[in-house]
Amino acid sequence: MNSLIPLLVAAPLAGAALLLLGGRALDRFGHWIATALAALSCAFGLVLFFDMLGRDTEHRAVTERLFSWIPVGGFRADVSFQLDQLSIVFVLLITGVGTLIHLYSVGYMAHDERRRRFFAYLNLFLAAMLILVLADNYLLLYVGWEGVGLASYLLIGFWQHKPSAATAAKKAFIVNRVGDMGLSIAIMLMFAEFGSFAFRPVFSAAGDASEGKLTAIALMLLLAACGKSAQVPLQSWLGDAMEGPTPVSALIHAATMVTAGVYLITRSASIFNLAPDAQTAVVVVGAVTLLFGAIVGCAKDDIKKALAGSTMSQIGYMIMAAGLGPIGYAFAIMHLVTHGFFKAGLFLGAGSVMHGMNDEVNMRHYGGLRKYMPWTFATFMAGYLAIIGFPFLSGFFSKDKIIEAALAKGGTEGWILGTCALVGAAVTAFYMTRVVLLTFFGEKRWQPDAEGHRPHPHESPRTMVIPMVVLTFGSLFAGGLFSLGDSFLHFLEPVTGHEEGHAPLSAFAVSAIATVCMAAGVGLAWLKYGRKPVPVQAPRGSLLTRAARRDLLQDDFNHAVLVRPGSALAATLVFFDSKGLDGFVNGLAAAIGGLSGRLRRIQTGYVRTYALSMFGGTLVLVASTLLMRSV
Amino acid sequence: MSPIHALAAAGGNSPSIPAPHVEYGQLSPMLVVFGAALVGILAEAFLPRRLRAATQLGISLAGLVGGFVAVVVLAAQGHATTRAGLLAMGSVAIDGPALFLQGVILLTAVLAVLTYAEGRLEPRINGHRIDAFAAQAAAVPGGEQERTATREGLRTTEIYPLTLFAVGGMLLFPASNDLLTMFVALEVLSLPLYLMCALARRRRLLSQEAAVKYFLLGAFASAFFLFGTALLYGYAGTVRLGEIADVVAGTAPVTPALAVTTQNDALLLIGLAMLAVGLLFKVGAVPFHSWTPDVYQGAPTPVSGFMAAATKTAAFGAMLRLFYVAFPGLRWDWRPVMWGVAILTMVVGSILAVTQQDVKRLLAYSSVAHAGFILTGLIATDRRGVAAVLFYLLAYSFVTLGAFAVVTLVRDSKGEATHLSNWAGLGRRSPLLAAVFALFLLAFAGIPLTSGFTGKFAVFQAAAGGGATPLVIVGVLSSAIAAFFYIRVIVLMFFSDPQPAGPAVAVPSALTATTIAFGVLVTLGLGLLPQYFLDLASKASLFIR
């Protein structure tokens, strides 16, 4: 049965290779091959899942070693997969949502002439993401980490004829490099400290290492997580990443890849648990980001960018939960999974709206669409209710648990975190209600597109609707199902560990307060956007609104603090390079050329000169041979 | 009693000369080639003119391929390793290095002969295909006789038997186990080469000048070699390499007649130095290199390629045998001197190449620099050094042959356009040819994934292992200088605008194409998968004494 594990990765990888190398012959049906292979991978995942459920708790984690990758002296890296409870959750999420989004893309990308390439990249992403979550050592994880980065880059820039898409792809790639450096440094530190970077030896030896070293490793891992999961201070790329086709935003920049940071921290629990300072850093990053993203989400008129702010904020919840230690890991993953469902559903809904509205993204140009797109409206509403934490839907269960865990941290810290989480919940309700009101309710504010075509909103084709409907089930019921008898918690406990937190408030009180916050957010949004007509042109807005529209000035900050000094440094280096180094190199070249010109004169063309030089050479040779003996 | 009288008396005691015992089987590679050469002369004498070119090509290829097959069979029978031995009364050694180098020389010669027969490059005259060689070698350049011969479409088909004789000498050169045999081999390989250099169809004066220079300087160098032989005989009382080593080591009984001179180390050292001069001349080491650019430029290009590849291989083979079999005991004397020669050769060769404007002269200086690189392997004085040199020679031969074959294809109305300015922008008009030439240049420069890198790595590794690290540093620095002028040609070909009335690239027949293709194949093969050939060279690296 374990031999299925490599096939999980191999199926989409083969699809990517086939589609990229297959050429135009596959243009007509290549996308179905990719979808079938994604579904096959998903089927393997399900088989492995049920096989795992059939075993005792102690025997659920299995390892499948494929081959020795880099055996050099004491350095050893294997291509080896580890399937445990944590990985299988990710496998099912990745392949399940992945398959649905492949199916959705069949409809969404139907008229794109580079469709085959798009599906090849999607398959490549699946393979890389599966390697990331299945690796049993950090080096192989790094391969997957870079692989998803590559796929993300290729897909954000898929419409590279648009300069904005090309720039966004580059931005995502470069910002991610900063995080990737963190991961590679963490791996090097691990190897220096433990002599290995496989999970098992590192985690078992972590107890013997000094706290300082563990904190260093953990902070580097946090840096990596910040890059991939768009957390402050490396968050700036996610909003621009919405330049990619919407299915990409749904799969990579909402449901799966951006949650890799949460996976990394949860997987490295053994290290973080022993480095409390690093955990504090994780919590701070998570709390700051959850508010940051929520505020940005409130101000955006671009539907996808509003959802991107929301993604950032929701991942902030997860990171914060992961930073809380054993009381939070399982809830972080639980929120990750439910978020995967409802956020993917919301993005697919947004894509469906854009599909019907001539690719318009400005919500101020929507309005009253609920009658024209009933399926899209219904599924979007399910996702909306789930994300704001409407009682007894998915988001309600998972978010409440995180708020509880934050309060359970205890002391002032617990109160601060809990308050942040509750404020975040209220703001979430506000901006999501705003999105729904602007899009589906109110007056029609439709505008003709650049070529003067008036939009004719219509429901999307069946290949797009079916995935949205399937995801709706997840948005509605996954949270309840997971919470039923704490089944999800007990399933993950052997990997992540669990401690029951002691919140100063009862679970019921927390739920009640959260629901009140949510209701307040909804009400405020209704007052602002539901009761009175929405202007087509965005009003000037308050200082905070204007800052939030500019992503809270993140790019201005990066430009002033990083780009400008970087350019100055580069200019200085260029100066020294061209004046100093090049001067030396060119001088050397000129000297050799000059010497060559001098030496050439010896080559007179006269035999007598040649004979003389031979004779002289012989004399020197004989003399020096004799001399060698006498010395 | 004077030594002379003693010698006469000793000779008087053995009245009959014993018939030499000759192992024809093991000598078959050389015998086949010499036999083919004789058949070629007969064909030249008796066949009608129009049949000669094709027949000569057939004879040559038969002889050379036959010789190669014989080498392979001998190697397969173990004559390179366990059954290696001294033949023909001890004057010839058939062992690993000898068979390896004979194989290389024969393969090189096969490909060179293919380029000789190329008839598509020159325009036809009266419907006759003509080649790169003079219509009638004896005709005065520019004279009436030459014009008549050209008009009639004559060809100098003697080039084929001449080449076979030269190849025969080259086969014997690295296999000769005594100084006299070595000298005879040297002359047998040199004399035909002097003639071949004079045979260019175009620019005949330059060609003849090159031949005369080569002959005069070659004779000068041979004289040194012969003088050195005499001095060594005076010292050791023998010309056998192994026996000289015994005398040097003091393990051999001293011939009473030579008791006086045997004690005289000056004879030994001067003799050694003079032998070295003779051989260093042939490989083109500085300061005995001055003939190389003039001769390579003047000689017909196919002959230049053959000389650059095969002569160097044979001469380095002889040099290896001389130093490793006869003078291992003197390595503390000759190593420092050879250090100096190697450094001078690498540095001067590389620096002089920087300002060359003619592609053939550029290749000539490049061959000088390469002689220096090979010398560093020789200086290692162990089996790894031998193996490295053998591999280097194999790699270098094919690159050189291929590069000169490419040079024959770039032509304008006056023949080959060898001035570098004519090569500007070649990559735009003939991307394939320019890419092939670029590959050869990269191999010369020793860029990884080409045979040149593997070869250079092997010799430098051997030299460093033999304690010659400073030499390796100089070698690497010279390689850097050398890389400049190789890459400069690549830049010229691919990144310069073509000249408006630049040369055209002639489309060759399958003959030259085969040579170039083989060159590319070997260059890439030895760069990508060198292990088999490194092992082969390593297995063949033991000299028999």
* Nearest alpha carbon to residue A456 among A538, A534, A357: A357
Q: Is the distance from CB of B239 to CB of B180 less than 8 angstroms?
A: yes
- Which tens digit of pLDDT belongs to each residue from A570-591? 999 999 888 888 888 888 888 9
Q: Is the distance from CB of A238 to CB of A312 less than 8 angstroms?
A: yes
pLDDT at A158: 95
Q: What is the distance of C-alpha B339 from the center of its chain?
A: 22
Q: Is the distance from CB of A38 to CB of A126 less than 8 angstroms?
A: yes
The mean pLDDT value for B364-384 works out to 94
pLDDT at A382: 95
Q: Tell me which chain B residues have a C-beta less than 8 angstroms from the C-beta of A628.
A: 332-333, 336-337
| List of residues 6+ apart from A431 with CB closer than 8 A | A294, A297, A298, A306, A309, A310, A525
pLDDT at B1: 41
Domains of chain B by residue range: 327-535
Q: Tell me which chain B residues have a C-beta less than 8 angstroms from the C-beta of A593.
A: 354-355
What token pair was written down for A152? 């993300």
Q: Tell me which chain B residues have a C-beta less than 8 angstroms from the C-beta of A586.
A: none
Torsion sign across C-alpha atoms A389, A391, A395, A401: positive
What token pair was written down for B382? 């162990």
Residue of A nearest to B268 (CA): A626
Q: How far apart are CA B20 and CA B30, in angstroms?
A: 18
What token pair was written down for B449? 């994934």
Q: Is the distance from CB of B97 to CB of B317 less than 8 angstroms?
A: yes
Question: What is the three-class DSSP state of A2?
Answer: coil
* Nearest alpha carbon to residue B221 among B285, B180, B178, B274: B274
Kindly indicate the confidence band of residue B15, based on its pLDDT and cuts at 50, 70 and 90: low
- Of B216, B277, B293, nearest to A618 by CB-CB distance is B277
| List of residues 6+ apart from B514 with CB closer than 8 A | B111, B114
- Which tens digit of pLDDT belongs to each residue from A224-255? 999 999 998 899 999 999 999 999 999 999 99
Torsion, CA A78, CA A79, CA A84, CA A88, rounded to 10: 160
Kindly indicate the confidence band of residue A450, based on its pLDDT and cuts at 50, 70 and 90: confident
Number of other residues whose CB lies within 10 A of the CB of residue A135: 24
Q: How far apart are CA B540 and CA B545, in angstroms?
A: 14
Ranges A82-96, A167-181, A483-497, B2-16: which has the least confidence: B2-16
pLDDT at B453: 94
Q: How far apart are CA A115 and CA A22, in angstroms?
A: 13
Chain B: give the shortest CA distance to residue A139, in Å.
28
* Nearest alpha carbon to residue A476 among A401, A391, A398, A394: A394
Tell me, letter by letter, the H, E, C secondary structure of B247-264. HHHCCCCCCHHHHHHHCC
Residue B31 has pLDDT above 80, yes or no: yes
| List of residues 6+ apart from B149 with CB closer than 8 A | B135, B136, B139
A618 to B290: CB separation less than 8 angstroms, yes or no? no
The mean pLDDT value for A515-535 works out to 91
- Which tens digit of pLDDT belongs to each residue from B491-528? 999 998 888 877 888 888 999 999 999 999 999 999 99
Q: What value does the CA radius of gyration of chain A take, rounded to a whole number of Å?
A: 29
- Which tens digit of pLDDT belongs to each residue from A12-38? 999 999 999 988 888 889 999 999 999
Q: Which amino acid is at B66?
A: G
- Rounded alpha-carbon distances, angstroms, from residue A400 to A287, A403, B168, B266: 15, 5, 94, 101
Residue B7 has pLDDT above 70, yes or no: no
Helix intervals (H) in A484-563: 487-496, 507-525, 543-549, 554-558
| A143: exposed, middle or buried (Cβ count in 10 Å: 0-12, 13-18, 19+) | middle
What token pair was written down for B19? 């018939």
- Rounded alpha-carbon distances, angstroms, from residue A327 to A251, A333, A408, A560, B22: 28, 12, 8, 39, 94
Domains of chain A by residue range: 299-539, 559-630
pLDDT at B50: 86
Question: What is the three-class DSSP state of B506?
Answer: coil
Helix intervals (H) in B408-509: 426-429, 431-445, 451-465, 469-495
A137 phi and psi angles, rounded to 5 deg: -150, 160
What token pair was written down for A175? 């910002």
Cβ of residue B340 closer than 8 Å to a chain A Cβ? yes
A524 phi and psi angles, rounded to 5 deg: -60, -45
The mean pLDDT value for B264-281 works out to 93
Q: Which amino acid is at A178?
A: V
Residue B129 has pLDDT above 90, yes or no: no
pLDDT at A502: 81
Residue carrying structure tokens 């991961």: A183
Q: How far does chain A reach from its first CA to its final CA, in angstroms?
A: 78
Torsion sign across C-alpha atoms A414, A419, A424, A425: positive
Q: Which amino acid is at A631?
A: V
- Which tens digit of pLDDT belongs to each residue from A607-617? 999 999 999 99
Tell me, letter by letter, the H, E, C secondary structure of B45-65. HHCCHHHHHHHHHHHHHHHHH
Q: Cα–Cα–Cα angle for A575, A576, A578, nearest 5°?
A: 65
Q: How far apart are CA A511 and CA A397, in angstroms?
A: 9
Q: Would you list which residues of chain A are within 8 Å, Cβ to Cβ, of chain B?
A: 589, 592-593, 595-597, 599-600, 602-603, 605, 607, 609-611, 613-614, 616-618, 620-622, 624-626, 628-629
The mean pLDDT value for B402-419 works out to 91
What token pair was written down for B418? 């060898």
Ranges A101-115, B157-171, B259-273, B340-354: which has the least confidence: B259-273
* Nearest alpha carbon to residue B273 among B195, B334, B325: B334
- Of B217, B281, B288, nearest to A607 by CB-CB distance is B217
| H/E run at residue A62 | strand A62-72
B337 to A625: CB separation less than 8 angstroms, yes or no? yes
Q: Is the distance from CB of B2 to CB of B260 less than 8 angstroms?
A: no
What token pair was written down for A603? 């080559």
DSSP B530: -
Q: Is the distance from CB of B69 to CB of B63 less than 8 angstroms?
A: no
Residue of B nearest to A609 (CA): B290
What token pair was written down for B195? 């003639």
B354 to A596: CB separation less than 8 angstroms, yes or no? yes
Residue A314 has pLDDT above 70, yes or no: yes
- Of B266, B273, B484, nearest to A621 by CB-CB distance is B273
A617 to B287: CB separation less than 8 angstroms, yes or no? yes
pTM of the entire structure?
A: 0.70
What token pair was written down for A263? 């996976």
State the ipTM, two decimals.
Answer: 0.90
Question: What is the three-class DSSP state of B92?
Answer: strand
- Which tens digit of pLDDT belongs to each residue from A115-147? 999 999 999 999 999 999 999 999 999 999 999
- Most B CBs within 10 A among A622, A626, A629, A630, hence the mutation to make, goes to A622
Cβ of residue B480 closer than 8 Å to a chain A Cβ? no
Q: How far apart are CA B431 and CA B443, in angstroms?
A: 18
